[in-house]
Amino acid sequence: MSDKKNKKQKSKSEELKERKEALQALPKTIREKLSEEEVNIFLHKEVWPESLFEKLSDFIFPPEK
C-alpha cells in the first residue's frame, strides 16, 4: 500500500472516530430521535439531508475559516 493511500485511510478512520464522539456528545433525547439511517448519514456522509440539519440545528456551527 502506498504511503499516500495509507494516510488517506488513517484520516478517514480518524474522521469516523471524531464523528462517533460527536454523536455520543449529543443529548440522549436528540440521539433517540435520529433514525438508524440518519445515524449512518451522520457518521459516513459528507452531505446531509435538510431533515437531519433541522434535528441538529442547535448543535451545528459554521466551519472555521
Let me know if residue 42 belongs to a domain. yes
- Written as one string, the DSSP assignment of 27-59 is -HHHHHHS-HHHHHHHHH-SS--HHHHHHTGGG
Q: Do the domain assignments include residue 65?
A: no
- Going by pLDDT thresholds of 50, 70 and 90, the confidence category of residue 10 is low
Task: Indicate whether 63 pLDDT > 70.
Answer: yes
Residue 17 domain boundaries: 3-59
pLDDT confidence bin for 5, thresholds 50/70/90? low
CA 21 to CA 37: how far, in whole Å? Answer: 18
Could you report the per-residue pLDDT of 11-29, keeping only the tens digit for each?
Answer: 889 999 999 999 999 999 9
Count of structural domains, the chain = 1
pTM of the shown model? 0.75
